[in-house]
Amino acid sequence: MTLSFHSLGLSESRVRHLEKAGFTVPTAIQAQAIPHLLSGRDVVGQAQTGTGKTAAFSLPLLERIDLNSHAVQALILTPTRELAIQVYQSIRAFGDDKRLHVLPIYGGQSIDLQIRRLQRGAQIIVGTPGRVLDLLNRGDLKLNQLNWLVLDEADEMLNMGFIQDVEKILSQAPHERQTAFFSATMDPSIRELATKFLRSPVTVTVEQPKAAPARINQVVYIVPRGWTKARALQPILEMQDPESALIFVRTRKAAAELTRQLQAAGHSVDEYHGDLSQAQRERLLLRFRQRQVRWVVATDIAARGLHVEDLTHVINYDLPDSVDSYVHRIGRTGRAGKEGTAISLLHPLDKRKLRDIERHIRQRLEIGTIPTRAQIEAHHLRKLQNQLRDSLASERIASFLPIVAQLSEEFEPHMIAAAALQMAYDQTRPSWMRLEHTLADDPIVDEPQPQPRSSHSRSGGHKSKPIKRKSPVS
């Protein structure tokens, strides 16, 4: 029998509002968590991003809010400002009463403005730990009437070093409250925190399929000994030429350095990390979605606020520490029935990580060969040849015939065609080839590459395919 939101115990008015918004069937995490939360139980939920967990805790919370009181009754903690904004927007969409006031509070926004908004009253606060604790210490945020506390993406709170701030906030909240933790993974530290601050919680888990989506072509490139990852990545990008790509790095410093190198090579790329202001992040996200920037280099944490449709490539410049994170990362491409490509760079000493990933997703990954200069030039010449065929069939060619006729008086026709082809190629050839004198300290050379595994191996993937190049939009 198909579950409905009404069968989970939500009010008729809430169900009608959800149906108008297009929500008719609850997800697995919603079906499991909502009844427990409505009954007043503390809940620990294990679910990945994108499973509908925001609605899982927001809908029961909205059922219990006293709209006639302007006191803070619910506090939702998130690891990043991007997630705080997303949760805030979702709750606003789920709530249909004008008396409901939801306030997002996070760093990067004027604290004085947030204090003024708190003074006007808000029933639900969605915030990051640092700013919430700051407002608590100032006495501007009061939790004496708090009934609900939600910790969203608890594992990321730990990874980002927020756990002490979280514990201080939990300690200041009233003991008689309902608490929910949601996390993609159940680290022992998360369980310890739940044991300390939750009362007889019920645990709900949504199992994620281990296998990666079939429409994602996964390729691993082994970085040759003596090479930097940046040197190995450059020819791969020139051959693949992604329409849109999210490049994952481990640190903010790495994001800045790789972005600088790719920009110097003439690529349309920008960086996205925690040091950017909120306004800078929002501008970059808009430019990325509008394809004004083709590639974004991001840290794992910052990338949680980046959601772009039709992402053609995900590139693991640095592999994540967990195999679950690998599956989550590459799942950003190959959506809505389209093919996507996931590229990972791997140092020879890190092959254990490759084995762990293959064991987790139950398939053997293709080992790619880093393209040589000759291969890239041949690839671009083939593309140019195809473009030339298209031009010969175009009506616009007639306007150039008088020029060819005039030049034919001095040169052979095949020489004229070759010169035109060379001009076109020089305009479209990779930037690092045009500026190779600036890269003399790190040239692309035809060096021996690791041999690809046999096509008869137990690989479940497909060989990556070059994607049609589009010029960057300035």
Q: Write the pLDDT tens digit of every residue in 353-389.
A: 888 888 888 888 999 999 988 888 887 777 777 767 7
- The domains located in the chain, with CATH, are 6-205 (3.40.50.300), 216-372 (3.40.50.300), 374-439 (no CATH)
Distance CA 114, CA 232 (A): 46
Q: What would the two tokens of residue 178 be?
A: 């309902």
Contacts of 337 (CB under 8 A, 6+ apart): 215
Which one, of 320, 23, 187, lies nearest residue 304 by Cα? 320
Which of 16-30, 95-109, 320-334, 419-433 comes out lowest in average pLDDT?
419-433
Q: How confident is the model at residue 426 (pLDDT cuts 50, 70, 90)?
A: low
> Whole-number mean pLDDT of the chain?
81
Report the pLDDT value the prediction gives residue 302, as an integer from 0 to 100.
Answer: 62
Residue linked to tokens 């979280």: 166
pTM for the complete prediction?
A: 0.54
Report the pLDDT value the prediction gives residue 461, as an integer from 0 to 100.
Answer: 41
For 2, 112, 381, 392, 411, the CA distances from 417, given in Å and listed in that order, are 66, 67, 14, 12, 10
Query: Which backbone phi and psi does 124 adopt, to 5 degrees?
Result: -125, 130
Contacts of 206 (CB under 8 A, 6+ apart): 27, 28, 29, 32, 45, 46, 47, 48, 51
**Number of C-beta neighbours around residue 119 at 10 A:** 10
Q: How confident is the model at residue 457 (pLDDT cuts 50, 70, 90)?
A: very low
Q: Write the pLDDT tens digit of every residue in 321-345.
A: 777 778 888 888 887 677 899 999 9
